[in-house]
Structure 1
Amino acid sequence: YDKDINPMADHQENDALVNLFKSHGYTHHGFTTEYDTSSQVRWMGVLNLDGKTPASLKKQFDSQRKRNINKAINFGV
C-alpha cells in the first residue's frame, strides 16, 4: 500500500510471512485499513535508505510527514 492506503499495482502476496508471524503466536486479523485500538499498529512504512541522508529523505516526504518529524524532534523523541 502507498502512503494513502491504496494498493500498490506491483504488490505480491506473502503468505509465508503471515504464516511465520502466526507460528510465533501472532493473530492475523486480515488486511483491513481501519485502526483497531485493541491490537498493535497495522501499518509499517519501509524506505530504502541506500545512499540517503536524513535531509534527502525528509525532502521526499509530504508536508504532514515533515511536520510530524519536526514535532518529534522538538519534543525530544
Structure 2
Amino acid sequence: MIELIPKKDGDTKMSEFRPIVLIHSIAKLITKVLSMRLVVVIDRIISPAQTAFQRRKCILDSYLYVQNSVRALHMNKTP
C-alpha cells in the first residue's frame, strides 16, 4: 500500500508528491501488541543477569554484576 502525499498545496505532477509506504504500520502494530503482552511475563523469561533493553534496568548493571562476580572469585582465590 503506497500513499502519495503532496509536498505543497495544488501539486499536479508526480514529482511533486511524496510516496509513503503503509505496509510497515501493520508490522509495528503487531510488534506493539506482542510487546505489551510480554511485559507481564518478561521478568520470568529473561535471566536477572540480562540488563540491556529492559525497563527499570540500566546497561551498566551488567558491568557491576560482572565486577562483583570477579571480586567474589578473587576473594575466594578461585582462578
Question: Greater share of strand residues, 1 or 2?
Answer: 2
Shared fold, TM over 0.5: no
Q: TM (normalized to structure 2)?
A: 0.22
Is the helix fraction higher in 1 or 2?
A: 2
From the CA coordinates, give the structure whose radius of gyration is larger. Answer: 2
